[in-house]
Each structure stands twice: as C-alpha cells, then as structure tokens.
C-alpha cells in the first residue's frame, strides 16, 4: 500500500472569500497571506497584531475608531489626566502592514477649568449630495442640489473633488467658510471645476463627556470643523466656538443654563446620524447616592442664535430621564454604547448598554424619555461554566463594546488581580453564563526598552485597565495606565474569531486539492508554528480548526465537515479531490495567532498489489488485454482480486470488475510466460513464469486507460 | 515522481530510551504513550498532569506542604499538612500518585494531637522515610527477635511497620505494626505473624514527621516531631495519634531549644523548616528558620530529629534534639511567614556542591552554607540572589512577592514560587549572586478553577488564581498544591517539570520514533505532526505548550547519528532521499499554561522515484523488440519541460540497470506529437496536444529480462 500526500503551500494566488474560486486560496477580510524568501515567511493567518506606544506622547485612552478604507483605520484618543485644554490624539493604523502612525494632536478647551475626559467619540460623516463647479480658477465653489449650510457642515472641514467616494479623492482642501447652501469658500489654492463635478465633504467632529464634578465642567463638548490635517505634532489649539456655530471650535452642549449633567461616565452615540440635523448622544450620569440618570443630546443641532460667548448652548439638550437609585454606581470611564444586536430581548432594536450595579444594563433608546424611569433589563456577569469554573469578580468588568460582526458584546476587565474579559451574547435572564473568556496576563512588556520589536507581538493586559473601540472586526485596545512601561495600544482582529465564523465568513479556504486515485483518506496534516517568540518570551499560539469537503467544491455548495483533532478521517472516505477550510480563535488566551505554512492530506493511493507487476510487454491495448506478472506469492490462496480501469485523461474510473464474479471481461492465468492462457484460478504463485490476464469485453475503443489489480 | 508520505502512528511497541531499539518508540522515564478506545487516545508526550482535591476528600482538609516519596516505579506517596484555620489538631493527608496513569488516590489521614495547648497554624512541614534492614529476625506469634539488630540504639519507633522475608520494601507482601520495642533485639507486634525462622531478612519502615507551628498561645508553637506512624494508619476514616512521653513511642513530642525558660523555648517565630540528609540512624538535622519577632532579620535553629530524647523527656517535651541556634542576621524586606526554607546541594553557582539552606524574603533568595550555621553566628548567610526576571526588567516586571523556594530535582534548578498576588508568575532558575536574569518565568493566572464542580469540559491547569503554590519535587515530578483554604482553590497537581526541552540533553526526557522506512525516496519535502492544539473543549480550550522535532537519516541502526532540528515550518528542503528516517521529540512544559503537548502521529512527505505525474506509461508505444519505453505526455507543466530522468530497474531483482537524463543522454530520447506515427528529436516544449508521447531507448540493455521503467524529473 502506498500513501500519497497532496499538499497546499500558502505561497500562491489568493482572493477574497466573498468571490468564490476553487483554484486559489480565499481569505476573509481579517486574514492575511504573507510571503518572503524563506519558506517560513510564507503563511496564512489572522491579521497580525499591531502595537503602538504612546508613553512618549502623553497619557491617553478611550479610543474611538473609524473605519476609513480597506487599508486604514483612524483611531482617536483623549488625554486622560485632569487639566485644561484636554488633548485629542489621532492615530492611523495600516491593516495591511500592521503598523501604526501617530498623526498628531489637537487641544480642545472651552471653559478653562480642570476637567477629566470620561467619554470620547469621533464621528466622520461625508456629504456628497449634488455636484459642484467653479467659475474658472477660484476659491469659491458653487453647489448644485446642495444644502451645505442647512446640513450643518462646518468651516474647517475638508472637501475633495472628482469623486463622491473618499478613496477617489486625490487632494483635500480646507473649507474656509460655508457661505450658503450652495456656496463655500476654500482656503489655500484655487481650483477649477467644471459643472457637475462630484465631491466629498468630510465632517469630522469629536464628542467628549467630561467630569470635573461641577456645573462648569459638566455636559458634553463637541469639537466641530475638524479635519485630519489639524492634528499635528505641534498640537493645534481648537478654540471655543464662541457665538457662531459650525466653525472650527469647541461647543459646550449644556442640559440647562446651570448644568446638572456633572457626573458623566462616558458618552454613547447613535451608530449613525438620523439626518444632517440629528445625531443623538446619550450620557450615563452618576449622582452621589449612588443614583443615576441619563442625558440625551443632539450633536447636529444648529446652535446659532443660542450660543453663549464661550460656545455654550442648551439647544442640543433633548431630555433628562428620572433619577434612579442604584446599588452600585456606574463605572466612571468609557461607559455606554448604543448598538443594535441581532439577538436578545429585542433583536435589532437600538439600545443603550452600560455597566452599573455590577452588571450590564440595557434600555431600548425608544424608552429613554424625559423624566421617566428607564432600565429595561440587565445581564449579570457570569463566566463560561459558571462561577465554579472561573473566578470572576463582577466589579472587575469595566467597559462594554459591541464586537460588531460577531454579534457579541465585549466586556473588558480592569484586569485587577489578572482578571479576564468576557465575550458574550446579551443574556438578560440572569442565569446564563457568558459565551467565552479571553486574555491572560503574561506580563510581557512592550515598551521601548523592552522592545516592541524584540519580543513577539502578543497582546496581554499586564494587570491594568483597558479601553477599547471596535470597528469592522478590529478591536483597538488601549492599556490605560499612568505607568509608562505599559502605555501601549494594540490592534487585534477579534472579528476573525471562530465563535461566529459561520455568520462572518472570516475563514480561510484552500484551493481544491487533487487526490488522484485516492482509495481512502488517512489524515490531514497542517504545518504551523506552535508558538511565537523564543526562549523566555515564547508563548503557545491560540488554536484553529479544520473542515473539509469532497463534494460541491466547484460551485461552493458542499457542506463542510469538521476534521477531528488528530486529523484522522473515517474509514473509507475517498475522493479525487478535497478542499479545506480553517477557522481561528482570535479571542483566545494569548491573542497569539498561528501561521499556517501548509496543509495536506495523506491518502492511500490506488495501486496494484505489490505481489503483481504490470507487464507492458504482454499487455495489448488493441485487444484490451491487461497482463500482470505474478511477482511474489501471497502465501495462501490468491484472494479475490479486483481490477480497476481508469480513463488516463480524466482519471475517472471506467469500471471495476472482480475475479470472483466478472461482469465486464474475462480472467486468465498462464504459468508459461503467456504461451498458454488458461482459466483463472486462485492457486498461489508456483513459478516465475506465472501471469494473470484480464481481457475487457465492455470497453470503448480508442480510449487510453490505466489498470490496477489489487486484493478486494 | 509523486509525493508520498511515511507515517508513524503512536500505537505500537514502546521501550525505554535507555535501551535503544529502532523498532519501538522509545520514551524517557517521564514520557508516556497513551492508548484507549479512540484514535485520539493514542499519543506520546509527557505524562499528563494529575490532579487531586484534598479539600474535597471525605474529611475535606485544606492542605499544603507536599512531601513526596518514591515508593516504586509506579507509585509516589505525597504527604500533606493542614493550611486550615488554626486548630488544636492538625491532620496529615496521604495521597498515592500513580505515575503510569497520572491518577491520585487519597489514602486517608492521620490527626496529630500536640503536647502544648492552643490552636496551631502550620508554618512548616517535613517528612522523613527511611528503611531499616540491619541484621536478621525470627518471630513466634507476636514476639520478634533480632540478631545483629539495634532497634533501640538506632532509635526505631513503636508504631512503625515491619515486613518479613526480604529487605526490599517493595517486595513485602504483608506489613505488621510494631507495638513495643523492648530492647535492641526484642519487639512485640500488634498481630500474630506465626513462626518466622531465625536468619530471616526483614525491613522496618521508619516514617516521621516534623510539624512546625505558630500557636494562638504565645510560645506554644514550635517544632513537633511525630514518630511511629505507618502507611496503614492513613485511613479514610482517619486515625489520631496522641502526644508521646515515651522515648521512641508512637506519637508527637515537642522539641524545645531550652527548657529553662519554661515549657516554650525560644523558637516561637518559625517560618519554615528543612530536613538535611540522613547521616545515620542517630543523626539527621532539621533547620528551622525563625524571624525572632523582628521584621528584618532571621535566625536558624538546628535540631537532630534522630537524637535520643530520653534525658530531658518530660510531658512530651524534650530539649535533647536541640543542637544550636544562630544569632539574628539582617535580611532585606519583606519576611515570608510560612513554608520557607529548603536543604539542597546544587551543582552550580556559589553553592556548587555545597550543602546549603535556601530561603526567601519577598524580594530575595538567601543561601547559607550548612557549615556556617553555627551557634550564635550573625554572619551565617553566605549570599543572596535578587529578583531579575528572564530577559531582564525590560522584558518582565519585578513582582517582589516571593513566597517560597524549592528544588526542581533532576534539572539542578530552583523553583521560586510567588504569592500569586495580582497574578504574579513564578520562576525556575539557577541560583546566582551576581544579578543575572532568571532562567524561566512560568505559570499564568487563567482564573480557572479545577474543583470537581467545574465544567466537565475543562482540563486541569495550574492557574495561579492569586494564590501561592506549595511545592514538593521528586525525581522530576513536582507536586504543587495551590495553598488556599477554599474548596475552589485547594488542589494538588503532579507536573513532570523536568521533562522541559531546555534540559532534555541532561535528562534524556525525549521520545524517539522507530525507524521509518521511506522507500523509493528521491528527496524529502517536509515533516508533519498531528497533535492537539489545546486541551479542554471550547470554550474551555487552553493552548498546549510547544514541542520540537529532530530528525536523522544516518546512524539510525546503531544510534550514532546526529540529530538535526526541524525548522518551524517542517521543511526538509535540500535533504536528499534515503531509505529511512527517524525522529526525536522534545517538549516544553516550563511555560505559561504548563500543559504539555502530545503527538498522535509523525510523518514525512517525500518525492518518490515513480514516473512523473505529467506522464503515463504507454503500452502501445513501448516495445520489447526495440527496448523502447514510451510515455504519454498527459499533463502540461505550464512552462518548459524540466530535465527528465529515466531509471530502468530489473523488475525481479530490483537493481538499477540504467539511469539516464534527457540532457547529456547516453540513450536515445525521442518525441512524437502525432500519436507515435512520427518520432522526432526530443525537446523541452510543453505538451501541445493529447497525442504527444516521448520514448527512451537505452544504449544497451540485456535481453530476456523483466524491466520496470520510470520517468521522473532529474
């Protein structure tokens, strides 16, 4: 018996898993295939983890991520120490190279008192309605079917021409003023635009909830009229908005002339604006007692005519709920999200989720009403397997975010005492355990001197709180601590986790692998690194799992079947081709993803018995006679033999016939080198001139065939 | 040429790695081959981690301070003492550990009553197990008589057990408890042993325990020596042993350093103890570390636990065992208050070959030459080691929470356990006094509980759980108890620490496969391994530690070949084919999860010397008359045809007759693109139609022989 091996090495053509092709490797959007000069540089894996260091900038956190394009995400962070003119840091993350770049900083101030940022949201909206033109080369741009002013676009935003998608813009221009619904003025260089030119205006604004404990630091603050170019190493000062709305400035959204929203714990923002005049933000407010209430603001409310000299206005305030007593106060930072989960008590209903009472609270935003009570339901924090299986102190669950494509919530720990984080659907019945637990503190350092490059890029929380922002399956995790050694931010492709792979299609599919004359599959072998790092910093990789299919490969209709842990196939499974699919655990213990170098299948090759040797000289294709020399004895009577005739061109089996009951031909035996052919019998080898012959009677003419003879 | 694979599945014969064989899988002493009903039950790897739950036994005692003893190749004994809230009675637990099955068996417990009043908190616990076989014995009924024996003189204890007809304890079929030792040559047994003729060999198992405590009554803690307990006293229902006022009687005696100060002595601030080597039946020293009611100093009390106690023995108290105490010597913060101190001789560092006492403060490991532990000395500490994490403090932070130190055994390393506070990890390292970084950081806090009520899909794992471990190591197996007085966190684990790949060249803890045949091998491609990536069932999966593979193709039969490490991607690129190959595996266990991997099968893929897959033998265009060997060009290369090679074998003898290539050929190469009608010169143009054939006619070939021809890439 000969075992053959068909292998796929991951150094060949790739494509997107959304465009099925059985000839190439298909990757989910959160996977990569890399290449290099050495074989070990060629592999597939989930996107590698990128690490940014901010210890040399300033203490910052509460990341807010924006998906920009397939290559780039934007991440904004707030300065966390108390003070005036809190700074906002702007990072870009390249998802292809796994590299971070720090673009710069703006300073935001409005009231000039010491305050602490408790919540941060960055919002990027793009206005592309209508078209633009200019009178020759000019700074003045005219719009057709545009409503720039009534849509609350801001001077200081940027505009690009020639496309109505951001990726189609080659150059951006600063908007000096929004003159009317159909006229704007640029700053800098003139442009010359023909009528009907498409364009994009990027409206970037930063929303902050702050805490100083007094009315002059309460409410929320919105920096409008921003563009990426304002974020510079020299820290551009964004002034108070003053009495004119929709310009580059910071506006103070107040709930009342004397602000009562003084205990902000974060700010939750609707996933997208309702329209260009409506985009709601919700603030979970903590009151001594402990008590809690919620505030709702509209960050796209036009404030003109209501603004105070310091940019303050009550016009954005929508409502304040009733105040409710709670047993345990809401967590103070980064607390609250608005999202629509596709499960739970009210699937797809936008709801506010926030952490209080040592659990996760939920309320449908429709039921957040002025002066009304408001909690709908809650989820207690229980680890997988329950509290008999993992230690979990509910006080240590610190912040919540929506994983997005996984349709799960990420419940991040403070990591006090090396506590871990949870990933789970929202369970409001109070009895269900979370779906998964992830992270573990290895304490490996990634600061400058420790060597972000010297050590393997593996995430670990090192016992400090983390704040997160998740966008399109990428989780940006900030280790939030004043200890500079630990001040790093990680980019982790959690959306690639196997937990929801069926829904997300975050997988790797191999090309179709050919296994000609496969009699029986034996075992799948995968070559991958078992660990990352070396010596003192070597950590095991998180697992993956394998599926296979042998049907429906060409049209992607075949059902995937899990491969057992030892890769063994059930007896008798065989096919002329096979395909594999890989799923990975990216929300694991180490966030340390294996590199898959190759994957192959071992199988029993359909061969003639070793006792028999095909005789080319005595075979005759013209008479359709297939002859084997009886090379070695079986040691007993000859077992029942089968002959298998293959079409040489297609490797398809034409027929199988048996020496015990022949259907498609006749069997003969010769003990004199083929001089005389007698009736076949099962007597063992008697001399060296013994031959067996099969004469096919049911075989087309003019086809090229291969025959094998073997024990049935 | 096609890709073949040769595989070894770990379900065959095994042998010891110390007795080389090419036909069996060879295992280091701490390696195992599994078996069972399922294919996944067959594997090789380090012995699985065993787990016991002292707090979930019938008596439910929170336990720590493991003291392991080798019983035989299959079984270790592990004694534990209480870590529960202070009480008058302290219970010693006995677990048997089956090293073949990795399973613990709770044998039972013995309760100790102490001579002094008050509630005791155990801060140190050590056991000594020796076997006495001097002289011979005869017996009649319950009376036994020694010849050449010195049962009193050698301090044997009543209550110990005795076996007859052998001096090998493992061969004893029936044990009997000694009731009374009347003199050096006479003893009374509890049970009738019938008649045993004179000159019979025998063995007495001398088991004694030292329990060092602090006490709720100031001054009533101290050093308690318990003699005369035997294996059979450990029962599920328990047995209690009272204090003893009789020389070598069964029971507990308090060892005092000074009767003159009253009944308490001065060794009242003990934080741990260590037993020295067995010097004789009258001498084995105990070293008790004591902080002397200071926050920044330590001293040592030295006792002889085999000394006769009779001269001062009174009300279960004696000062006869006391040898000396040092003076207080300053140590750096902060003191550690229990399980502190070991006696060890390491073969490296400043204590190389020197019997030494090692102990910890939260930030230091201290070493004292045993010879420097002298009466009144205030300079008895030889040197110290500061905490420097592996890779230095730029790779891992300092934890500053050392809790204890132990000897890893077999690998000449110390295990430094932390308190686990905040998830602090522990260390395995050589000892140095020059601020070199430690060798390994190990363990991790996954917060997983391993109690019986935990989810059945979990796998036992040494999670720190913010709790220190107590460790007793023996012959490469470390017995770790998570020292916490809670059901959730009080478990005993058996972990084969010394199998770690770092020390494989010293310990030979490896797996070697049988010789794997690779017939018709042109060249090797890649090594493949089938193994689980994790233990436990998702979502309770925990990654296993890695293993590494070595290969050799030479010197397999006589075990002289050099091993070559396989690259991470398994590539054997450039390795010429051979008829066989052999693999060796080494495993990591000193890591984060400390879950050793296991391997189901190992395989090697290679290119064989069969006809290249782009060609198929053609019967119709081959000819015996002209000795032409023809092949149909069945599959295009997608480019220029590479240089081809023909090999002609004698089909009967298997010998190679012709080996010729398409460039610089000795025979004749031809090509036809019209189904063999016209044969022209051979070229390297790719397949153009379905009627393309090539053929080879050797320059010479004998007549009347059976020939097998193959075509492959050169």
Q: How far apart are CA B124 and CA B213, in angstroms?
A: 7
Residues of chain B found within 8 Å of residue A600, distances taken between Cβ atoms:
5, 528, 605
Q: Is A613 on the interface with B (CB under 8 A)?
A: yes
How far does A80 lie from chain B, in Å, by closest CA? 24
* pLDDT of A111: 58
How far does A19 lie from chain B, in Å, by closest CA? 25
Whole-angstrom CA distances from B346 to A269, B105, B406, B430, B503 are 63, 32, 11, 9, 15
Nearest of B112, B94, B246 to residue B179 by alpha carbon:
B246
Q: Is A450 on the interface with B (CB under 8 A)?
A: yes
Residues of chain A found within 8 Å of residue B652, distances taken between Cβ atoms:
631, 688
Residues of chain A with pLDDT under 70: 110-112, 449-453
Whole-angstrom CA distances from A558 to A20, A22, A29, A555 are 13, 12, 22, 8
Contact indicator for A179, A205 with CB cutoff of 8 Å: no
CB contact (8 A) between residue B592 and residue A390: no
How far does A92 lie from chain B, in Å, by closest CA? 27
Contact indicator for B440, B428 with CB cutoff of 8 Å: yes
Residues of chain B found within 8 Å of residue A542, distances taken between Cβ atoms:
543
CB contact (8 A) between residue A390 and residue B448: yes
Instruction: Mutate one of A525, A543, A588, A648 to test the B interface: name it (highest B CB count within 10 A).
Output: A525
Q: Is A668 on the interface with B (CB under 8 A)?
A: no
How far does B17 lie from chain A, in Å, by closest CA? 25
How far does B150 lie from chain A, in Å, by closest CA? 54
- Who among B421, B543, B624 is closest to A540 (CB)? B543
DSSP A503: H
In three-state secondary structure terms, A210 is strand
**Mind giving me the DSSP string for B503-551?**
GHHHH---EEPPPEE-TTEEEEEEEEEE--SEES-TTS-EEPPPEEEEE
CB contact (8 A) between residue A4 and residue B5: yes
Q: Measured in Å, how far apart are chain B's first and last C-alpha atoms?
A: 10
Give me the count of residues in chain A: 712
- Tokens linked to B317: 């108290």
ω before B618 within 30° of 0 (cis)? no
CB contact (8 A) between residue B539 and residue A384: yes
How far does B470 lie from chain A, in Å, by closest CA? 20
CB contact (8 A) between residue A537 and residue B597: no
CB contact (8 A) between residue A621 and residue B542: no
Contact indicator for B80, B92 with CB cutoff of 8 Å: yes
Q: Is A449 on the interface with B (CB under 8 A)?
A: yes
Residue of chain A with shortest Cα separation from B548: A530
Q: What pLDDT, in 10s, does the model give residues A141-175? A: 999 999 999 999 999 999 999 999 999 999 999 99
- Tokens linked to A135: 């009178």
Backbone φ/ψ region at B634: left (φ over 0), alpha (ψ -120 to 50), beta: alpha
Give me the count of residues in chain B: 714
CB contact (8 A) between residue A613 and residue B651: yes
Residues of chain B with pLDDT under 50: none
Cα three-residue angle B594-B598-B601, rounded to 5 degrees: 160
Which segments of B259-374 are extended strands (E)? 270-280, 283-290, 297-304, 317-318, 322-325, 329-330, 342-344, 356-360, 364-369
User: A708 - beta bridge partners?
Assistant: A644
CB contact (8 A) between residue B690 and residue A5: no
Residues of chain B found within 8 Å of residue A648, distances taken between Cβ atoms:
616, 632, 634
ω before A564 within 30° of 0 (cis)? no
Strand A86-94 to A99-108 pairing: antiparallel
Residues of chain A found within 8 Å of residue B588, distances taken between Cβ atoms:
531, 538
CB contact (8 A) between residue A389 and residue B541: no
Backbone φ/ψ region at A174: left (φ over 0), alpha (ψ -120 to 50), beta: beta
Contact indicator for A697, A666 with CB cutoff of 8 Å: yes
Residue A297, judged by CB atoms within 10 A of its CB (0-12, 13-18, 19+), counts as: buried
Indicate if ipTM > 0.95: no
Residue of chain B with shortest Cα separation from A542: B543
- Who among B447, B569, B601 is closest to A523 (CB)? B601
- Tokens linked to B240: 């209690």
Residues of chain A found within 8 Å of residue B439, distances taken between Cβ atoms:
536
Tokens 């030295």, residue located: B302
* Interacting residues of A590 by C-beta distance below 8 A, sequence separation 6+: A440, A442, A458, A459, A460, A539, A540, A541, A542, B543, B592
Q: What pLDDT, in 10s, does the model give residues B607-619? A: 887 777 788 888 8
CB contact (8 A) between residue A568 and residue B525: no
- Tokens linked to B622: 């081959």
Residue B360, number of CB atoms within 10 A of its CB: 29
How far does A539 lie from chain B, in Å, by closest CA? 7
Sign of the alpha-carbon dihedral angle for B236, B242, B243, B247: negative
Whole-angstrom CA distances from A217 to A211, A220, A280, A317 are 6, 9, 20, 16
How far does A695 lie from chain B, in Å, by closest CA? 15
Q: Is A696 on the interface with B (CB under 8 A)?
A: no
Nearest of A288, A373, A364 to residue A332 by alpha carbon:
A288
**Mind giving me the DSSP string for B574-620?**
TPBP-SEEEEEEEE--SSSS-----BSEEEEEEEESSPPTTEEEEEE
* Interacting residues of B264 by C-beta distance below 8 A, sequence separation 6+: B116, B219, B220, B222, B256
Cα three-residue angle B330-B335-B339, rounded to 5 degrees: 120
- Who among B5, B588, B708 is closest to A613 (CB)? B708
How far does B314 lie from chain A, in Å, by closest CA? 50
CB contact (8 A) between residue A419 and residue B592: no
Helices (runs of H) and strands (runs of E) counted in chain B: 1, 55
Q: How far apart are CA B663 and CA B642, in angstroms?
A: 10
> In chain A, which among 380-409 make CB contacts under 8 A with chain B?
383-386, 388-392
Nearest of B64, B65, B93, B62 to residue B77 by alpha carbon:
B93
Helices (runs of H) and strands (runs of E) counted in chain A: 1, 56
ω before B372 within 30° of 0 (cis)? no
Q: How far apart are CA A131 and CA B165, in angstroms?
A: 107
Q: How far apart are CA B130 and CA B337, in angstroms?
A: 29
CB contact (8 A) between residue B390 and residue A535: yes
> In chain A, which among 353-372 make CB contacts under 8 A with chain B?
none
> In chain A, which among 19-78 make CB contacts under 8 A with chain B?
39-40, 43
Residue of chain A with shortest Cα separation from B531: A566
Backbone φ/ψ region at A166: left (φ over 0), alpha (ψ -120 to 50), beta: alpha
CB contact (8 A) between residue A445 and residue B397: yes
CB contact (8 A) between residue A7 and residue B706: no
- Who among B5, B591, B622 is closest to A602 (CB)? B5
* Interacting residues of B602 by C-beta distance below 8 A, sequence separation 6+: B7, B8, B10, B513, B516, B527, B528, B529, B530, B549, B583, B585
pTM: 0.92
- Who among A39, A442, A524 is closest to B444 (CB)? A442
How far does A148 lie from chain B, in Å, by closest CA? 51
How far does A97 lie from chain B, in Å, by closest CA? 22
**Phi, psi of A77, rounded to the nearest 5 degrees:** -135, 155
- Who among B446, B466, B616 is closest to A589 (CB)? B446
H or E element, residue A365: none
Q: How far apart are CA A43 and CA A34, in angstroms?
A: 6
């Amino acid at each position: 018996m000969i075992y053959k091996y068909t292998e796929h090495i991951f150094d060949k053509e790739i494509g997107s898993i959304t465009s099925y092709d059985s000839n190439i490797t298909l990757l989910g959007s959160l996977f990569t295939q890399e290449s290099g000069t050495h074989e070990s540089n060629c592999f597939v894996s989930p996107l590698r983890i990128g690490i940014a260091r901010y210890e040399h900038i300033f203490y910052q956190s509460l990341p807010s991520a924006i998906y920009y394009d397939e290559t780039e995400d934007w991440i904004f962070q707030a300065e966390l120490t108390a003070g005036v003119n809190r700074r906002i840091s702007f990072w870009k993350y390249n998802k292809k190279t796994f590299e971070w770049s720090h673009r710069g900083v703006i300073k935001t101030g409005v009231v000039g008192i010491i305050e602490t940022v408790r919540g941060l949201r960055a919002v990027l909206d793009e206005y592309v309605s209508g078209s633009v033109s200019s009178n020759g080369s000019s700074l003045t741009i005219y719009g057709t079917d545009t409503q720039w002013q009534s849509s609350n676009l801001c001077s200081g935003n940027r505009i690009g021409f020639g496309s109505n998608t951001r990726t189609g813009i080659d150059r951006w221009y600063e908007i000096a003023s929004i003159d009317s619904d159909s006229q704007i003025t640029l700053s800098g260089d003139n442009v010359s635009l023909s009528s009907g030119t498409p364009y994009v205006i990027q409206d970037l604004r930063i929303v902050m909830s702050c805490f100083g404990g007094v009315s002059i630091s309460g409410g929320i603050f919105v920096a409008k009229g921003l563009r990426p170019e304002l974020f510079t190493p020299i820290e551009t000062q964004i002034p108070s908005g003053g009495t004119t709305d929709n310009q580059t400035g910071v506006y103070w959204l107040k709930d009342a002339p004397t602000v009562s929203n003084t205990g902000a714990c974060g700010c939750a923002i609707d996933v997208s604006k309702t329209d260009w005049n409506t985009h709601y933000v919700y603030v979970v407010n903590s009151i001594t007692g402990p008590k809690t209430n919620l505030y709702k603001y509209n960050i796209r409310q036009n404030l003109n005519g209501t603004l105070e000299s310091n940019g303050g206005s009550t016009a954005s305030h929508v409502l304040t709920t009733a105040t409710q007593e709670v047993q345990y106060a809401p967590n103070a930072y980064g607390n609250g999200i608005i999202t629509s989960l596709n499960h739970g008590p009210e699937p797809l209903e936008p709801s506010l989720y926030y952490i209080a009472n040592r659990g996760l609270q939920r309320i449908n935003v429709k039921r957040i009403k002025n002066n009304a009570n408001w909690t709908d339901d809650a989820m207690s924090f229980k680890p997988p397997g329950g509290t008999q299986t993992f230690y979990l102190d509910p006080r240590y669950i610190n912040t919540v975010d929506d994983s997005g494509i996984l349709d799960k919530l990420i419940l991040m720990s403070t990591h006090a005492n090396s506590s871990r984080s949870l990933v789970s659907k929202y369970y409001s019945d109070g009895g269900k355990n979370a779906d998964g637990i992830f992270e573990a503190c290895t304490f490996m350092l990634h600061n400058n001197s420790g060597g972000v490059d010297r050590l393997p890029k593996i995430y670990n929380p090192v016992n400090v709180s983390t704040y997160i922002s998740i966008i399109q399956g990428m989780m940006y995790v900030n280790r939030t601590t004043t200890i500079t050694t630990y001040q790093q931010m990680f980019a982790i492709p959690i959306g690639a986790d196997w937990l929801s792979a069926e829904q997300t299609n975050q997988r790797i599919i191999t090309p179709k692998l050919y296994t000609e004359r496969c009699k029986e599959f034996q075992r799948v072998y995968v070559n991958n690194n078992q660990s990352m790092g070396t010596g003192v910093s070597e950590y095991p990789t998180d697992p993956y799992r394998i599926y296979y299919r042998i049907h429906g490969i060409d049209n992607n209709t075949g059902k995937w079947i899990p491969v057992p842990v030892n890769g063994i196939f059930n007896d008798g499974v065989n096919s002329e081709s096979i395909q594999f699919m890989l799923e990975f655990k990216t929300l694991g213990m180490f966030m340390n993803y294996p590199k898959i170098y190759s994957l192959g299948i071992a199988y029993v090759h359909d061969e003639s018995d070793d006792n028999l040797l095909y005789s080319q000289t005595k075979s005759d294709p013209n008479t359709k006679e297939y002859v084997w020399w009886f090379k070695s004895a079986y040691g007993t009577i000859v077992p029942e033999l089968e002959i298998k005739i293959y079409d040489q061109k297609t490797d398809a089996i034409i027929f199988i016939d048996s020496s015990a009951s022949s259907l498609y031909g006749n069997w003969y035996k010769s003990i004199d080198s083929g001089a005389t052919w007698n009736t076949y019998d099962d007597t063992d080898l008697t001399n060296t001139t013994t031959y067996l012959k099969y004469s096919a009677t049911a075989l087309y003419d003019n086809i090229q065939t291969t025959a094998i003879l073997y024990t049935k | 040429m096609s890709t073949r694979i040769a595989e070894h599945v770990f379900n065959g014969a095994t042998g010891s790695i110390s007795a080389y064989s090419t036909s069996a899988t060879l295992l280091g002493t701490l390696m195992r081959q599994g078996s069972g009903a399922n294919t996944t039950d067959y594997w090789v790897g380090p012995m699985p981690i065993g787990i016991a739950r002292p707090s979930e036994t019938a008596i439910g005692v929170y336990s720590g301070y493991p003291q392991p003893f080798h019983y035989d190749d299959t079984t270790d004994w592990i004694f534990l003492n209480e870590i529960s809230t202070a009480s008058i009675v302290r219970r010693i637990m006995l677990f048997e550990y089956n090293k073949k099955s990795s399973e613990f068996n709770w044998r039972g417990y013995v309760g100790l009553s102490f001579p002094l009043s008050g509630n005791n908190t155990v801060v140190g616990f050590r056991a000594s197990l020796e076997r006495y076989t001097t002289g011979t014995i005869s017996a009649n009924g319950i009376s036994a008589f020694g010849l050449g024996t010195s049962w009193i003189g050698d301090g044997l204890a009543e209550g110990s057990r005795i076996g007859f007809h052998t001096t090998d304890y493992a061969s004893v079929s029936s044990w009997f408890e000694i009731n009374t030792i009347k003199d050096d040559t006479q003893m009374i047994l509890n049970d009738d042993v019938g008649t045993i003729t004179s000159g019979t060999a025998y063995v007495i198992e001398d088991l004694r325990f030292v329990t060092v405590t602090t006490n709720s009554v100031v001054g009533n803690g101290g050093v308690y020596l318990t003699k005369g307990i035997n294996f059979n006293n450990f029962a599920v229902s328990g047995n209690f042993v009272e204090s003893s006022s009789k020389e070598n009687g069964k029971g507990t005696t308090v060892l005092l350093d000074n009767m003159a100060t009253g009944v308490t002595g001065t060794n009242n601030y003990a934080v741990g103890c260590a037993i020295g080597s067995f010097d004789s039946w009258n001498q084995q020293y105990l070293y008790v570390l004591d902080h002397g009611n200071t926050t920044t100093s330590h001293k040592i009390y030295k006792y002889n636990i085999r000394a006769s106690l009779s001269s001062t023995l009174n009300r279960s108290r004696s000062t006869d065992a006391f040898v000396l105490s040092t003076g207080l010597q300053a140590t750096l913060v902060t003191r550690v208050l229990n399980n502190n101190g070991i006696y060890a001789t390491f073969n490296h560092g400043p204590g190389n070959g020197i019997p030494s006492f090692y102990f910890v403060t939260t930030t230091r490991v201290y070493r004292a030459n045993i010879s420097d532990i002298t009466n009144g000395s205030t300079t008895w500490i030889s040197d110290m080691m500061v905490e420097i994490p592996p890779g230095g403090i730029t790779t891992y932070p300092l934890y500053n929470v050392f809790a204890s130190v132990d000897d890893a055994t077999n690998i000449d390393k110390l295990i430094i356990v932390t308190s686990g506070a905040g998830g602090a990890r522990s260390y395995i390292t050589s000892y140095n006094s020059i601020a070199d970084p430690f060798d390994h950081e190990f363990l991790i806090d996954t917060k997983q509980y391993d109690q019986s009520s935990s989810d059945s899909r979990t796998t036992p794992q040494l999670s720190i759980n913010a709790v220190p471990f107590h460790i007793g190591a023996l012959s490469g197996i470390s017995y770790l108890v998570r020292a916490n007085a809670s059901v959730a966190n009080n478990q005993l684990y058996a972990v084969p620490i010394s199998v770690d790949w770092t020390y494989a060249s010293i310990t030979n803890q490896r797996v070697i496969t049988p010789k794997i045949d690779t017939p018709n091998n042109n060249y090797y491609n890649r090594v493949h391994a089938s193994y689980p990536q994790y233990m436990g069932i998702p979502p309770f999966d925990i990654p296993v530690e890695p293993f590494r593979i070595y290969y050799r193709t030479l010197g397999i039969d006589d075990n002289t070949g050099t091993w070559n490490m396989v690259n991470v991607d398994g590539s054997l690129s450039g390795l010429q084919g051979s008829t066989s190959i052999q693999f060796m595996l080494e495993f990591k266990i000193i890591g984060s999860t400390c879950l050793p991997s296991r391997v189901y099968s190992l395989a090697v893929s290679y290119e064989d010397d069969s006809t290249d897959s782009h060609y198929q033998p053609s019967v119709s265009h081959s000819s015996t008359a002209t000795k032409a060997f023809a092949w149909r060009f069945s599959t295009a290369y997608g480019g220029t045809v590479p240089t081809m090679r023909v090999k002609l074998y004698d089909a009967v003898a298997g010998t190679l007759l012709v080996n010729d290539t398409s460039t610089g050929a000795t025979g004749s190469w031809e090509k036809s693109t019209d189904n063999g009608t016209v044969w022209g010169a051979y070229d390297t143009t790719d397949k153009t139609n379905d009627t393309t054939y090539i053929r080879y006619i050797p320059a010479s070939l004998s007549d009347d022989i059976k020939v097998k021809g193959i075509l492959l890439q050169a």
